[in-house]
Structure 1
Amino acid sequence: MGYGAPMPDADALFDALHRSAAPAAAIAVAALVRNGSDAALARINALGFAAEHGLDEEQAIAALLHAARLGLFEMSWNILCPSCCGVLDANTTLRSVRQQDYHCAFCALTSEPNLDDTVEVSFAVSPRVRRISGHDPDRLSFWDYHRQVFFGSGVVFPEGEAFDELSREATLEALELQPGEKAILSLTVPAYPIIIFDAVSHEAHVIDIAGAAANARQEQAVVFSGVRGQVGRSSLAPGPLRLSLDNRTERRILPGVFVARPELEGLIGHRRPFLTAKRLLSNQTFRDLYRTETLDVEQRLKILSLTFLFTDLKGSTQLYGRVGDLVAYDLVRAHFQILSEIVASEAGAVVKTIGDAVMATFPAPHRAVAAALRMRAAMRQLNQRRGAQDLVLKIGIHEGPCLAVNLNDRQDYFGQTVNIASRVQELATGDSIIATDTVVNHADAARVLTDHGVAATPWEVSIRDVEGVRVFAMA
């Protein structure tokens, strides 16, 4: 089947998308599927997509998620090398992400995955909607394969003549070898390290260059055997080289002879923000659409920094006795709706409700602080409209590392950070907001407080069973 226009039945999916996503975002998604280049549809960066179309990031992410749920796109959870941003493993779900170390042959670097910055979520158009060249990776050219398959969506390649010039300087040779095929190259090695790397099999051979220039031709043989992450190493002098490459895998490979010089950094070293797994797990639309499908029961995936916000209604038991069950139920339900809308608008997600309490997560402290201030203001306004002080919201915020887990058939979080956040909320009195030092000392959170004219005052009080954490009250 050839590449090109969307399938005829795609219009029905676009109509469904318009009913579920923000209008501007839905229009942009439909236009991308209809008119986007093959490269643009191979690995969509949600944040880049939002910026390019002038969209709110949360609305753009939500539209892409709805599109994926409808079958317009396929999501990929990509494990990235923290150095080169190469995709070390691509997974259709987060359930498939392994917890052990990953090895980047290109950088000769081993790293442990974390959801903060080494697991990205990208989107590709479904082959059932529109067929693109990226659906047939074994037919992609050398650089198209690197752009669309190997490197993550955060890598920004130069364009036009700048790319041509840098790629010439950064590579001595780039070729294609079919299964069982061999090639012999005659090269002149400069005084820079050489990386012979195949992005298909993820194998590499590093040649360290040292000493005076060689007069006689040197020999080097590299065998690609299909052992993912395998890295060989040797040392040569600058000068003439006869390089033998042997493809012993069962696939076509694309070995390149890269020169570790500044031009290589200029070629692949530019970055842009991308949608991380951490951010997506704290996205309300994602939690609503995918619910229990995220993590396996045995998975424990590390998050280096996540902000937790806990709320609780003060005196909710007395509220039921004072105004009656029906009125109290309506008030509590209205309070949940207000809080949920505020959380979602600040790029957060409600993890669960416990009685009249809410547990929410945010990708950064300033988002949680902004949400907390809006929650308090909204409850005060609601009380003012009713002419009573029935809804008094206590709020606690803490930031730190945690584990993403599957608990009671839903995606949840575990660790001391969660415990501290809950206990910080227990300290709150009246409609106060209590936060820890890691929150109020965050630069963006401090700016939010300043913009709202709110002071964070140190409070000399201890957190139950926790030492070394200072708390602040936000007046």
Structure 2
Amino acid sequence: MTEHLSLFAILRQSADVRTVDAIERLVRDAPDSALNRINVLAFAAREGLDEERTIAAFLHAARLGIFEMSWNVLCPGCGGVLDAGASLKTIQQPSYSCALCGAGYEPTLDEMVEVTFTVTPRIRKIAGHDPDTMSMWDYDRQFFWGSGVDMPENFDEIVEEIVLDAMELPAGERASLSLQLPAEFVIVFEPITHSAQFIDVKGEPTKERQNLSVVFNDAHPQHQTVELRPGPLRLTLDNRTTRRVLPAVWIAGTALHDMLGRRRPFLTANRLLSNQTFRDLYRTDTLDIDQRLKITSLTFLFTDLKGSTQLYERVGDLAAYDLVKEHFRVLHDIVGAEAGAVVKTIGDAVMATFPTPDRAVAAALRMREEMQKLNETRGREDLLLKIGIHEGPCLAVMLNDRQDYFGQTVNIASRVQNLAMSHAIFATGAVVEDPVTSELMERRGLHPTQRRTALRGMQDEFSVYEIP
């Protein structure tokens, strides 16, 4: 308990105190299930906390050893966890298959990879630390389905309705179930080996007993769909693994689809990579050098100081250095406050990322305002900031020992910034036409001016907008 208290005291020095208080209450009072694979966004909503401060607090807590992070590859169809690891480096497969949905997917960081937090055993021992001892339905809820699936309170009642039978089968053992098949599509699903057998039950009912065998092994098999008739079935289950398995026979009807269709926001890997606290705490421990992970949508903001060479000549190296350093501090603070992250600085330029276009535009407007304030304080136009913004797909990569981004979206954002004059914010249609961004600019009375122009390295003209 003494270590517990000291760690939270340390956490209060680096994270929002109100958020830390809520986390400490969670660790102290919540049931075991609430401390396994915590959905940070759901926790923030339930406690009435700011999302960014909550994410930052959990990251600092994980760094202190209060929580362990889990990076989980989710099935877009059913929300099931297809793979899980302690870091993003564990996501190495070019595609992942979901046996329950019978489909394969190429992983994307903003749609398929969630980041959750589990309390460490040194702080509090919970059932989730030993999943092989958990009941079948607790295992399904806490380990197979991701934190983005909002499981209903009456989960047990729904299971009674849509599961024909289920059992725990120890390693190396074999058993049989006697079932009465309804005229429905049925799935024999096992969540530990991620194995499934589809049964299309149709035709005239029969009174004769039908037989079917399903083998569970470590190959994660997706068995061929078999056709059976409504009526009695002897289902033989053979566990050829070194762990217990938890097969259940599900009716794949409306009730199952409705249950799995209950979704809630979750902390994506993409959002975490664009979080300043994460980048500050986990600078190099993110990706392997040969990893190339897809992101379907990320917003890039580039800034540069106009006339910085003349600034050094005008005010001298020491004064100019201090001024440019202050400009970097202001930009860094604004990026972090708008849920973004500074990827790198290049000379007097900044490259930053944001999870959504509106956050980038809000940051750009604040940057322009703060530079104007700094200039007013000095009584001269020393800091003239040019800004360019673009949104689109990219790759998350490791370059020069740091997590970086690669792709045409990055190139376009940089070249759009090169078009900007002093005090100008230039953005592409993908940014300006975003509904939330449009609403933001409408509230501020801003009306972007469109122009067609050529971007270096691109054959066709490109539409860009100047935000006044």
Contact kept, 8 Å, 1:157 with 1:163, in 2: the verdict is yes
Question: Is 1:470 matched up with 2:452?
Answer: no
Match of 2:395 among 396, 403, 407: 403
How many angstroms does 1:163 deviate by? 2.4
Match of 1:147 among 133, 141, 165: 141
Question: Is 1:416 matched up with 2:400?
Answer: no
2:115 corresponds to: 121
- The secondary structure found in structure 2 opposite 1:272 is coil
The separation in 2 between residues aligned to 1:469 and 1:222, in whole angstroms, is: 57
How many angstroms does 1:22 deviate by? 0.8
Amino acid at match of 2:443: D
How many angstroms does 1:282 deviate by? 0.1
Match of 1:170 among 162, 175, 196: 162
What does the per-residue CA deviation read over 1:254-300, in whole Å, with 9 as the maximum and x for residues that have no partner? 10100001111233321100000000000000000000110111111
Question: Is 1:23 matched up with 2:26?
Answer: no
Amino acid at match of 2:59: L
Structure 1 stretch 446-455 or stretch 285-294: which is displaced more?
Answer: 446-455
Contact kept, 8 Å, 2:287 with 2:398, in 1: the verdict is yes
Question: Is 1:270 matched up with 2:269?
Answer: no
Contact kept, 8 Å, 2:36 with 2:119, in 1: the verdict is yes
How many angstroms does 1:408 deviate by? 0.4
2:247 corresponds to: 255
2:171 corresponds to: 179
Contact kept, 8 Å, 1:221 with 1:243, in 2: the verdict is yes
The separation in 1 between residues aligned to 2:461 and 2:87, in whole angstroms, is: 38
1:36 corresponds to: 30
Contact kept, 8 Å, 1:81 with 1:87, in 2: the verdict is yes
The separation in 1 between residues aligned to 2:182 and 2:461, in whole angstroms, is: 54
Amino acid at match of 1:453: G
Amino acid at match of 1:474: I
The separation in 1 between residues aligned to 2:224 and 2:192, in whole angstroms, is: 16
1:95-114 matches, cutoff 5 A: 95-114=89-108
- The secondary structure found in structure 2 opposite 1:399 is strand
Identify if the C-alpha distance between structure 1 residues 227 and 362 changes in structure 2 by more than 3 Å, giving closer, same or farther.
Answer: same
Contact kept, 8 Å, 2:344 with 2:350, in 1: the verdict is yes
1:224 corresponds to: 216
How many angstroms does 1:226 deviate by? 2.4
Question: Is 1:81 matched up with 2:79?
Answer: no
How many angstroms does 1:78 deviate by? 0.4
How many angstroms does 1:305 deviate by? 0.8
Structure 1 stretch 116-125 or stretch 380-389: which is displaced more?
Answer: 380-389
1:246 corresponds to: 238
How many angstroms does 1:82 deviate by? 0.9
Structure 1, gaps ≥5 residues long: 1-6
Contact kept, 8 Å, 2:174 with 2:236, in 1: the verdict is yes
The separation in 1 between residues aligned to 2:69 and 2:223, in whole angstroms, is: 30
What does the per-residue CA deviation read over 1:375-421, in whole Å, with 9 as the maximum and x for residues that have no partner? 11111122122211111100000111111010000000011111110
* TM-score normalised according to structure 2 size: 0.98
1:93 corresponds to: 87
The separation in 1 between residues aligned to 2:19 and 2:382, in whole angstroms, is: 39
Amino acid at match of 1:469: F
Contact kept, 8 Å, 2:455 with 2:461, in 1: the verdict is no
The separation in 1 between residues aligned to 2:461 and 2:45, in whole angstroms, is: 41
Match of 2:202 among 210, 226, 239: 210
Identify if the C-alpha distance between structure 1 residues 176 and 8 changes in structure 2 by more than 3 Å, giving closer, same or farther.
Answer: farther
Match of 1:455 among 447, 453, 456: 447
Contact kept, 8 Å, 1:103 with 1:229, in 2: the verdict is no
- The secondary structure found in structure 1 opposite 2:395 is strand
Over aligned residue pairs, what C-alpha RMSD do you find? 1.1
The separation in 2 between residues aligned to 1:231 and 1:100, in whole angstroms, is: 22
Question: Is 1:326 matched up with 2:326?
Answer: no
- The secondary structure found in structure 1 opposite 2:416 is helix
The separation in 2 between residues aligned to 1:326 and 1:295, in whole angstroms, is: 38
How many angstroms does 1:248 deviate by? 1.6
What does the per-residue CA deviation read over 1:14-33, in whole Å, with 9 as the maximum and x for residues that have no partner? 11111111111111111111
What does the per-residue CA deviation read over 1:161-215, in whole Å, with 9 as the maximum and x for residues that have no partner? x323311122111210101222221111111111101111111111112212222
- The secondary structure found in structure 2 opposite 1:322 is helix
* TM-score normalised according to structure 1 size: 0.96
Contact kept, 8 Å, 2:453 with 2:462, in 1: the verdict is no
How many angstroms does 1:229 deviate by? 4.3
